[in-house]
Amino acid sequence: MQSILRRTLASSNPLLRCRASLSPRAISRHFGFRTIVTKRYTAEHECVAFDETTGLGVISITDHAQSSLGDVVFVELPQVGTEVSQHDQIGAVESVKAASDIYAPVSGKVEEINETLADQPGLLNKSPEEEGWLCKIKLSNPSELEELMNEEEYQASYEH
C-alpha cells in the first residue's frame, strides 16, 4: 500500500504535488513563474533582499547587528517617497545599550516602511531580516548590489 505522501507526489495533479513538496521552487515550476531574490550585506550590518521581478529591495539590519545593539526600544525610519543614495543615512535604531544610524545599502526611492516598528521596535531583535524589516526601496541602480557582500563574505567580515 502506497503512503499518502507517495501517492500525492506521484499524482498527475500539479496542485497536489506542489502542496506535498512545500518547495517554493516546485510551486514556481508548476505555475510558470520564478522569483529570484538576491541578498547582499554591508560592512555596517545592513542587508538588502532584492527581488528582480519587482525591482524592490527590502532593507533590514542583520541578526549580528541586533544582537550587538541589545534590546531595541526605538526605530526611526525614512518617509515614503524619499529618494536616497547609496550610503545616505535613512534612519536610526536606539537600544538600551546604544544608538546606531541606518544607511541605505542601495540608491532608489522609499516605497514602503514597516509601520509596525513604531509600536513594536522589538521586532528588530526577534526577526530582524523578516518581520523586523525597515523599508522597501525601488532600486534606481541595481548594479550597486555587486558592490555589496554575499552572505559568506559578510560572515567572514565580522568573525575576525
DSSP track, 78-147:
PPTT-EE-TT-EEEEEEESS-EEEEE-SS-EEEEEE-THHHH-TTHHHH-TTTTT--EEEEES-GGGGGG
- The separation between CA 25 and the C-alpha centre of its own chain, rounded to angstroms, equals 18
Residue type, 134: L
| Separation of alpha carbons 92 and 20, rounded Å | 43
What is the Rg, in whole angstroms, of the alpha carbon atoms belonging to the chain? Answer: 19
Q: What is the pLDDT of residue 30?
A: 44
| Separation of alpha carbons 69 and 123, rounded Å | 13
Average pLDDT, the chain: 84
- Stronger pLDDT, 20 or 63, i.e. the higher one: 63
Residue 118: pLDDT over 50 = yes
- Stronger pLDDT, 31 or 73, i.e. the higher one: 73
Contact 27, 13 (CB under 8 A): no
All domains in the chain, ordered by first residue: 1-34 (no CATH), 37-158 (2.40.50.100)
Grid cell listed for 137? 526601496
Q: What is the pLDDT of residue 31?
A: 53
Per the DSSP assignment, residues forming a β-bridge with 41 are 47, 149
- pTM of the predicted model as reported, rounded to 2 decimal places: 0.77
